Amino acid sequence: MNISGNTILITGGTSGIGRALAEAFHKQGNQVIVTGRRRNLLEQVTAANPGMKAAVLDVQDSNALARFAESAPRDYPGLNVLINNAGIMVPENLHQPDDSTIASTIETNLLAPIRLTLALLPALQKQPRAAVINVSSGLAFVPMAITPTYCATKAAIHSWTQSLRHQLKAAPVQVVELIPPYVQTDLMGEHQRTDPRAMPLRDFIDEVMEILRTQPDAQEICVKRVYPLRFAAEQGSYDQVFAGLNGDAARPRSSH
């Protein structure tokens, strides 16, 4: 995809990777629309980025998602890029499972991007050029055992993205998977934002934008820090990487 001249909708755009992507694309001259559950956070984002637009959306609410998908093409007729970024990551003890945590993780990380993509697809296909970018995770390829549902949903998004790409191969809609490593965000709490083991958010976004700029036809966006996870199976290092990732459950290494 071109990194300028688009109308881009980003879910989960009030913090972390979502906000940083929104601001990076905004600086490139795109019309960016961010969504999130809390109006006050959305207002903070748009106040800091004049010209950016925002819409309240709880992606776990299937009815709200359907209403939003119906109105979005009317409200933003140039909409040609969807970035499914909203996600939650919660540690789980499978000896004492919490059904609500499991359900909300699946709703947010898997069902919401599927529903929103399919609902917006007719409008996207009417554009001369369009793209769907699904944010998965390095943990889609090697799971972190303390967050089993998160990892499972990201693996499912990877698989679904491949199928979507294949079915749209004759359509003017590029399908891209963005695969983050462990990044300094608040995804699993404030400690992650300053964890020296995590990739600085600014460095991650800069590398992502450079890949998009230099490889406009890329199907996967992988910064170098995610290579050990993304290519563990291909490189024959899966067992070693899995053991390293899960050897100390008290010190989680999240991704995205």
Residue 182 appears among annotated catalytic residues: no
pLDDT digit string, tens, across residues 135-177: 999 999 999 999 999 999 999 999 999 999 999 999 999 999 9
Query: What band does 55 get if pLDDT is binned at 50, 70 and 90?
Result: very high
What pLDDT score was predicted for residue 252?
A: 45
What kind of architecture, by CATH, is found in domain 7-246? 3-Layer(aba) Sandwich (3.40)
pLDDT, tens digit, 9 for 90 and up, residues 74-111 = 999 999 999 999 999 999 999 999 999 999 999 999 99
pLDDT score for 256: 65
Q: Which of 76, 150, 227, 238 is catalytic?
A: 150
- Give the position of tokens 């499991």: 102
Q: Is the CB of residue 149 less than 8 Å from the CB of residue 107?
A: no
pTM metric for this prediction: 0.95
pLDDT at position 201, please? 98
Give exposure, 180-216, as e/b (b: 16+ Cβ within 10 Å): bbbbbbebbeeebbebeebbebeebbebbbebbeeee
Mean pLDDT value across residues 126-134: 97
Per-residue pLDDT tens digits for 203-254: 999 999 999 999 999 999 999 999 999 999 999 999 999 999 998 543 445 5
Residues in the chain: 256
Tell how many helices (H) and how many strands (E) occur in the chain. Answer: 10, 7
The whole-chain average pLDDT of the chain stands at 95
User: What is the model's pLDDT at position 248?
Assistant: 58
